[in-house]
């Protein structure tokens, strides 16, 4: 293994190759174009497996060159990777290890106090003492141009502080749009971020054309890049085309966005039309550059490299941009989804057409590779240590192997994705990650487990020890900066027993409210809260909570038991389901989780209208645990759920394994449930944390006084003469022909009321009459032609009030009746259901209203 390649050695390699078939005569030295796409995920092209994104030009590039399956970014975020591209050095050696200026300075003081470490005194710009790839090429006769994102300058509002570090002062003859900013505020002119209206536009050094209105950034950058290629056509030239796309904001060109809105179906793994449009715009850019090369007769003498600065962004507060599956997680994460990237290289006359290469490569390799391909000598006085190795041999023989067999990453920072400080190594098919926060290691075999679901550190300690030793040696060689101890750290895991209070007294259901279950569903036995699981339903706390730590123990008493804890939930269940809107923490018996592909023990996910960004995601909005820690029935398991400011984490039996963030709601009720099987809960306790300011949109629906009229186990409280009414767990089903004789009425009568009822009609069913007082005057006809009805076979929610003879009704959230006076006016009667054929009823709730 080599950690260091001296430029003297490297220059010797270049000289030796100067007369080989891989090198060109001086007058024929190839042009080089590098497409660096921002935040592009591993699967974000047709040739990398996407069934949605239309990328014919990128696919053509792959068909004519080498597509790398195991290419890696030098870091999980942008600035360090871009610095590695410019210098050939690991970010750890440069001490440039986070995006400039990182997340830590932006954190609130109370958030910083929860972190055991803080970033080191890292370098937040690309130092002039290093020779960039542009400077090396320029010194050897190349024209050099930078177009797009730079993001390697200090962050400052003073132009005099940042401009000396712009691309034109780092070896580029031309600089278009390269500055201190890492993203545009908008992809339409003037590309300004509202937050920085007092500063230059986000994309500066970019004179607009005469007609600025509506100009799309990706297209405009391509216009300028085409012009530069035409200007430098006499060559040789180096064009570093670093698109701002597909970085946020997710804002595709309108015509392309509308196109994908019409194309996307549930069958597509990628499902964000705006992001898809941005990917296609990048593809158009590649196509336009290649067309220009063809028109100028330069295509056969131009090397094209297409790559990304980190993994795809798989979570964002505006929705999920892309899906990196089967890779785990995305941008910012230490796992494969954060660092594995698409990379394609086409070198006409050298690369075989349409082949793949599975040799691991990394961003640092582009520097020595480009120097070798162009016959350029490096500058030993400034870049004495190049960490990358030339992969030129792989471009001729993709099946070859490099002498190097290890790749490394070092990130001594916290990231908004939930990532904590770490270092990592890949050696062959093995990958090890070391986390600074608690010192634990995770080991994965990528050949057998590309999704990194099974931590092998305990079962293969010899591999873990070997890789950790290599990692330690590498960090020492790099002079890697570890994170610093946080002097303001206030751990949550101290002796805080006195601050907890019981949520369950071990004697009765005081403090808990059964929502949609029978009296027999929940009981107390031997200090345990016991759920029979019949019917499927929930019990909730009698008050709402915002920031808290919840601890409890649970065990299933049946094989493949399925239950859950709901956080920040509404007061009653959502439409057409026996569960609340909220964030669910999965409680599964081991055998159940081991038989499912979509879920496992300790998942966290939003349900029924709630939202959450997963930290440990595999695509979608479900967070998966980093390891399986639950014990099989009848053993007890301990959960610790920390919920604060919309972030949630789960520790299973003493170790944090699952995390989510940006949850909504983030204040609400705590619920327990079981889905058909017996489950026990005990030692339920809570520690409330200080509340934070919260917008109303993030607060769950508070108790409105509703009670459920259906037990889910029998027709208690109802009367009917038709035996076609059937109790089917949480659903009340009617299977007959209907009519007045099929009426089902409550034994209780009601005056003024609020009501909720969910209805699903069958094809053979005409309608359902809902009589609020058991008579025609209060009848509400429910039929498929009613405005706002959902398609047959789907649930509809009817919600309304009857007060002082005035009726108001909404259907699926849409107001259909407003203060309609009833005639004749009635004052009391049973709630009555009269079906016109087969129908299903769920969630019948009622609340009395004072006149």
**Residue 27 falls inside a structural domain:** no
> 727-733: long-range contacts (C-beta < 8 A, 24 or more apart)?
729/534, 729/535, 729/536, 729/578, 729/676, 730/516, 730/535, 730/536, 730/537, 730/578, 730/842, 730/843, 731/840, 731/841, 731/842, 732/840, 732/841, 732/842, 732/844, 733/838, 733/839, 733/840, 733/841
760 has a pLDDT exceeding 60 = yes
Q: Could you read off the pLDDT of 425-444 as tens digits, one per residue? A: 999 999 999 999 888 999 99
Name residues whose C-beta falls within 8 Å of residue 593's C-beta, 6 or more positions apart in sequence.
586, 599, 600, 601, 628, 630
Alpha carbons 415 and 420: distance in angstroms, whole number = 7
694 and 764 both lie in a single domain: no
Alpha carbons 169 and 540: distance in angstroms, whole number = 63
496 has a pLDDT exceeding 60 = no
Q: Could you read off the pLDDT of 767-816 as tens digits, one per residue? A: 888 998 878 888 889 988 888 899 988 999 999 999 888 899 999 999 98
226 has a pLDDT exceeding 90 = yes
Given pLDDT bands bounded at 50, 70 and 90, which one contains residue 27?
low
10 has a pLDDT exceeding 50 = no
pLDDT in the model for residue 374: 96
- Averaged pLDDT, 722-733: 92
438: exposed, middle or buried (Cβ count in 10 Å: 0-12, 13-18, 19+):
exposed
618 has a pLDDT exceeding 90 = no
| Neighbour count for residue 406 (Cβ, 10 Å) | 18
Buried b / exposed e across 672-682, counting CB within 10 Å, b at 16+?
bbbbbbbbbbb
**Residue 179 falls inside a structural domain:** yes
578 and 695 both lie in a single domain: yes
Mean pLDDT of the residues in the chain: 88
Number of domains in the chain: 3
237 has a pLDDT exceeding 80 = yes
479 and 511 both lie in a single domain: no
Alpha carbons 579 and 571: distance in angstroms, whole number = 10
788 and 663 both lie in a single domain: no
Q: Could you read off the pLDDT of 740-756 as tens digits, one per residue? A: 889 999 999 999 999 99
pLDDT in the model for residue 794: 92
510 and 436 both lie in a single domain: no
Given pLDDT bands bounded at 50, 70 and 90, which one contains residue 383?
low
Measuring CA to CA, which residue among 499, 294, 375 is closest to residue 22? Answer: 375
- Averaged pLDDT, 331-336: 94
Instruction: Tell me the sheet residues that pair with 7.
Output: none
pLDDT in the model for residue 160: 82
**Residue 568 falls inside a structural domain:** yes
Mean pLDDT: which of 460-469, 496-505, 629-638 is highest?
460-469
44 and 165 both lie in a single domain: yes
Measuring CA to CA, which residue among 47, 141, 588, 113 is closest to residue 346? Answer: 47
239 and 280 both lie in a single domain: yes
Residue 603: strand, helix, or coil:
coil
Residue 421: strand, helix, or coil:
coil
- Averaged pLDDT, 144-165: 89
Alpha carbons 290 and 308: distance in angstroms, whole number = 19
pLDDT in the model for residue 599: 59
Q: Could you read off the pLDDT of 312-333 as tens digits, one per residue? A: 998 665 567 898 999 998 999 9
User: What CATH number does residue 152 fall under?
Assistant: 3.40.720.10
- Averaged pLDDT, 720-737: 92
Angle between the N-to-C axes of helices 7-17 and 366-374, in degrees from 0 to 180, rounded to the nearest 10: 40
Residue after which a domain boundary falls, among 426, 453, 485? 485
Given pLDDT bands bounded at 50, 70 and 90, which one contains residue 78?
very high
The secondary structure of 335-373 as a DSSP string is SHHHHEEEEEEE-TTTSPTTEEE-S-EEGGGHHHHHHHH
Q: Which of 400-414, 482-496, 641-655, 753-767 has the lowest mean pLDDT?
A: 482-496
Given pLDDT bands bounded at 50, 70 and 90, which one contains residue 628?
confident
User: What CATH number does residue 537 fall under?
Assistant: 2.60.120.560
pLDDT in the model for residue 535: 94
521 and 475 both lie in a single domain: no
Please give the residue that has the higher pLDDT: either 38 or 109. 38
Residue after which a domain boundary falls, among 459, 485, 511? 485
The answer to whether residues 281 and 216 touch, using CB atoms and an 8 Å cutoff, is yes
15 has a pLDDT exceeding 50 = no
pLDDT in the model for residue 655: 82
pLDDT in the model for residue 737: 86
The answer to whether residues 598 and 301 touch, using CB atoms and an 8 Å cutoff, is no
Q: CA-based angle 69:33:178, to the nearest 5?
A: 105
**Residue 491 falls inside a structural domain:** no
Q: Could you read off the pLDDT of 287-314 as tens digits, one per residue? A: 999 999 999 999 999 999 999 999 999 8
16 has a pLDDT exceeding 50 = no
Q: Could you read off the pLDDT of 534-583 as tens digits, one per residue? A: 999 999 999 999 999 999 999 998 888 899 999 999 999 999 999 999 99
- Averaged pLDDT, 451-472: 95
Q: Which of 307-321, 331-345, 439-453, 500-514 has the lowest mean pLDDT?
A: 307-321
Alpha carbons 713 and 534: distance in angstroms, whole number = 7
**Residue 74 falls inside a structural domain:** yes
36 has a pLDDT exceeding 70 = yes
58 and 132 both lie in a single domain: yes
587 and 727 both lie in a single domain: no
pLDDT in the model for residue 563: 93
pLDDT in the model for residue 195: 43
724 and 612 both lie in a single domain: no
Percent of the chain with pLDDT over 70: 90
Instruction: Tell me the sheet residues that pair with 655.
Output: 652
pLDDT in the model for residue 844: 95
Residue after which a domain boundary falls, among 452, 485, 518? 485
pLDDT in the model for residue 784: 85
pLDDT in the model for residue 778: 84
| Neighbour count for residue 494 (Cβ, 10 Å) | 8
520 and 635 both lie in a single domain: yes
18 has a pLDDT exceeding 80 = no
Measuring CA to CA, which residue among 103, 111, 56, 52 is closest to residue 77? Answer: 103
- Averaged pLDDT, 725-739: 91
Domain, as residue range, for 123: 7-20+39-342+354-485
Alpha carbons 342 and 833: distance in angstroms, whole number = 59
- Averaged pLDDT, 239-261: 95
Q: Which of 326-335, 357-366, 649-658, 726-735 has the lowest mean pLDDT?
A: 649-658
- Averaged pLDDT, 374-379: 83
pLDDT in the model for residue 268: 79
Query: How far is the CA of 97 from the CAs of 368, 485, 666, in angstroms?
Result: 21, 17, 33
- Averaged pLDDT, 58-86: 98
pLDDT in the model for residue 252: 95
**Residue 26 falls inside a structural domain:** no
pLDDT in the model for residue 739: 81
What dihedral do alpha carbons 411, 413, 417, 423 form, nearest 10°? 30
**Residue 706 falls inside a structural domain:** no
**Residue 381 falls inside a structural domain:** yes
Given pLDDT bands bounded at 50, 70 and 90, which one contains residue 102?
confident
């Amino acid at each position: 293994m080599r950690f260091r390649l001296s430029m003297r050695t490297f220059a010797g390699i270049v000289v030796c190759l100067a007369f080989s078939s891989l090198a060109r005569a001086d007058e024929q030295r190839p042009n080089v174009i590098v497409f660096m796409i921002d935040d592009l995920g591993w699967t974000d092209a047709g040739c990398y497996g996407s069934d949605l994104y239309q990328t014919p030009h990128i696919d053509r590039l792959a068909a004519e060159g080498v597509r790398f399956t195991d290419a890696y970014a030098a870091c999980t975020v942008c600035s360090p990777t871009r610095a590695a591209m410019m210098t050939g050095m690991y970010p750890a050696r440069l001490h440039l290890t986070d995006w400039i200026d990182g997340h830590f300075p932006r954190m609130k003081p109370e958030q910083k106090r929860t972190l055991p470490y803080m970033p080191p005194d890292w370098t937040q710009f690309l130092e002039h003492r290093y020779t960039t790839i542009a400077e090396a090429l320029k010194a050897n006769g190349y024209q050099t141009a930078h177009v797009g994102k730079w993001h390697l300058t200090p962050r400052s509002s003073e132009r005099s502080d940042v401009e000396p570090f712009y691309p034109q002062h780092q070896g580029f003859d031309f600089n278009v749009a390269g500055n201190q900013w890492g993203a545009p505020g908008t992809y339409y002119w003037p590309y300004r971020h509202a937050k920085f209206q007092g500063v230059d536009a986000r994309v500066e050094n970019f004179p607009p054309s005469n007609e600025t209105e509506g100009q799309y950034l990706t297209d405009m950058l391509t216009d300028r890049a085409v012009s530069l290629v035409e200007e430098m056509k006499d060559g040789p030239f180096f064009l570093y085309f670093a698109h701002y796309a597909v970085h946020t904001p997710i804002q595709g060109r309108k015509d392309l966005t509308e196109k994908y809105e019409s194309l996307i179906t549930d069958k597509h793994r990628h499902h964000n039309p705006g992001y898809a449009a941005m990917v296609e715009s990048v593809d158009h850019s590649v196509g336009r550059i290649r067309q220009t090369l063809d028109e100028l007769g330069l295509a056969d003498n131009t090397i094209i490299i297409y790559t990304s600065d980190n993994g795809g962004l798989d979570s964002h507060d505006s929705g999920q941009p892309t899906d990196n599956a089967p890779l785990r997680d995305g941008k910012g994460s230490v796992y494969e989804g954060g660092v594995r990237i698409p990379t394609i290289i086409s070198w006409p006359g050298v690369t075989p057409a349409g082949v793949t290469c599975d040799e691991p490569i990394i961003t640092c390799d582009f520097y020595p590779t480009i120097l070798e391909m162009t016959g350029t000598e490096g500058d030993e006085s400034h870049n004495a240590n190049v960490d990358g190795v030339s992969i030129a041999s792989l471009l001729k023989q993709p099946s070859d192997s490099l002498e190097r067999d290890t790749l490394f990453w070092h990130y001594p920072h916290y990231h908004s994705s939930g990532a904590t400080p770490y270092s990592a190594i890949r050696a062959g098919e093995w990958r090890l990650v070391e986390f600074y926060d608690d010192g634990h290691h995770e080991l994965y075999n990528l050949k057998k487990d590309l999704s990194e679901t099974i931590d092998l550190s305990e079962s293969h300690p010899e591999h873990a020890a070997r890789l950790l030793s290599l990692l330690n040696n590498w960090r020492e060689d790099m002079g890697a900066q570890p994170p610093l101890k946080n002097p303001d750290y206030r751990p949550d895991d101290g002796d805080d027993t006195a601050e907890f209070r019981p949520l369950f007294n071990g004697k009765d259901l005081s403090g808990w409210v059964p929502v949609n279950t029978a009296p027999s569903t929940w009981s107390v036995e031997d200090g345990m809260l016991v759920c029979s699981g019949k019917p499927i339903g929930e019990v909730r706390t009698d008050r709402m909570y915002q920031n808290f730590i919840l601890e409890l123990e649970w065990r299933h008493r049946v094989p493949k038991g399925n239950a859950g804890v709901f956080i920040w939930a509404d007061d009653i269940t959502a439409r057409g389901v026996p569960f609340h809107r909220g964030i669910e923490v999965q409680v599964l018996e081991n055998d159940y989780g081991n038989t499912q592909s979509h879920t496992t023990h300790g998942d966290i996910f939003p349900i029924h209208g709630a939202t959450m960004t997963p930290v440990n995601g595999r695509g979608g909005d479900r967070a998966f645990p980093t390891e399986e820690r639950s014990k099989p029935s009848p053993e007890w398991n301990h959960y610790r759920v920390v919920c604060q400011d919309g972030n949630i984490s789960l520790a299973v039996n003493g170790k944090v394994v699952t995390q989510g963030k940006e949850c909504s709601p983030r204040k609400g009720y705590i619920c327990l449930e079981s889905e058909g099987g017996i489950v026990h809960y005990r030692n339920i306790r809570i520690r409330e944390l200080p509340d934070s300011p919260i917008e109303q949109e993030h607060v769950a629906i508070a108790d409105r006084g509703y009670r459920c009229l259906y037990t889910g186990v029998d027709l208690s409280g109802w009367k009917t003469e038709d035996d076609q009414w059937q109790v089917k767990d949480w659903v009340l089903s009617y299977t007959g022909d209907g009519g007045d004789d099929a009426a089902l009425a409550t034994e209780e009568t009601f005056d003024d009321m609020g009501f909720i009822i969910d209805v699903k009609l069958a094809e053979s069913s005409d309608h359902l009459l809902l009589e609020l007082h058991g008579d025609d005057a209060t009848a509400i006809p429910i039929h498929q032609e009613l405005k706002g009805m959902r398609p047959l076979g789907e649930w509809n929610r009817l919600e309304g009030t009857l007060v002082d003879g005035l009726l108001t009704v909404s259907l699926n959230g849409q107001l259909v009746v407003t203060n309609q006076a009833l005639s004749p006016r009635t004052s009391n009667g049973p709630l009555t259901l009269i079906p016109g054929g087969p129908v299903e009823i769920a969630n019948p709730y009622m609340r009395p209203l004072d006149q």
